[in-house]
């Protein structure tokens, strides 16, 4: 069991009514899952399972909150922080054995393999349109900067130019591209200093 002194401090700082509630929740979490790691996230005690957020608890002026990071709704969420609503006394918690069994069940669910996100397909190098290539070639400094950009930075400019619908818009964008690239600026660099 990996305890964190900051969680001890959070419990000590809580109101007198909250200390036994938070202590019981903490003990039940560690009894159910000895491998939980304590930490503080967003100013609240959190418990991580296998490196991922698993459960949290919090103390407020007149009640405590407890919940699982990913879990089924209980219908009490609107009453307070977490899935178990306002916990104002130890009587608001289920019996120890039931609480430990609940935590074990949630941990088993959390350990189920989740589908991974699909991998991003890397975009290849964008084809440089002839009119943009000619304009860059006419300004050696712009051509050198453009060649030194990362592929994604070059693609930002190429996409911006090729998305233009009217020829006059495309010509204006090519002119702006050459002027910005000659200064070594990426596509939206002018907005970064604001």
Write the pLDDT tens digit of every residue in 161-182. 999 999 999 999 999 999 999 9
5-111 CATH pick, 3.40.50.150, 3.40.50.970, 3.90.1150.200, 3.40.309.10? 3.90.1150.200
The per-residue pLDDT for 120 is 77
Helices (H) and strands (E) in the chain, counts: 8, 4
Structure-block tokens of residue 118: 């699909």
The per-residue pLDDT for 72 is 54
Q: What is the pTM of this model?
A: 0.55
Is residue 22 within 8 Å of 65, Cβ to Cβ?
Answer: no
Ranges for all domains in the chain classified under CATH 3.90.1150.200 = 5-111
pLDDT digits over 126-169, tens only?
899 999 999 999 999 999 999 999 998 999 999 999 999 999 99
pLDDT digits over 56-82, tens only?
999 999 899 998 887 655 444 455 566
Q: Is the dihedral of CA 31, 35, 38, 44 positive or negative?
A: negative
Q: Which residues contact 88 (CB under 8 A, 6 or more apart)?
A: 17, 62, 63, 64
């Amino acid at each position: 069991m990996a305890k964190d002194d900051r969680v001890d401090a959070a419990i000590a700082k809580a109101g007198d009514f909250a200390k036994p509630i938070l202590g019981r929740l903490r003990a039940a979490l560690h009894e159910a899952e000895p491998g939980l790691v304590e930490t503080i996230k967003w100013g609240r005690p959190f418990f991580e399972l296998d490196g991922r957020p698993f459960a949290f608890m919090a103390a407020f002026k007149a009640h405590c909150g407890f919940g699982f990071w990913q879990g089924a709704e209980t219908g009490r969420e609107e009453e307070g922080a977490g899935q178990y609503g306002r916990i104002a006394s130890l009587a608001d918690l289920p019996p120890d054995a039931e609480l430990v069994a609940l935590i074990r069940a949630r941990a088993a669910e959390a350990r189920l393999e989740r589908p991974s996100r699909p991998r991003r397909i890397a975009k290849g190098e964008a084809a440089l349109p002839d009119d943009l290539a000619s304009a860059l070639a006419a300004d050696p400094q712009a051509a050198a900067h453009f060649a030194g950009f990362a592929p994604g930075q070059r693609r930002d400019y190429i996409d911006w130019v090729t998305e233009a619908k009217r020829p006059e818009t495309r010509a204006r964008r090519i002119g702006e591209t050459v002027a910005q690239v000659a200064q070594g600026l990426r596509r939206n660099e002018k907005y970064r200093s604001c």
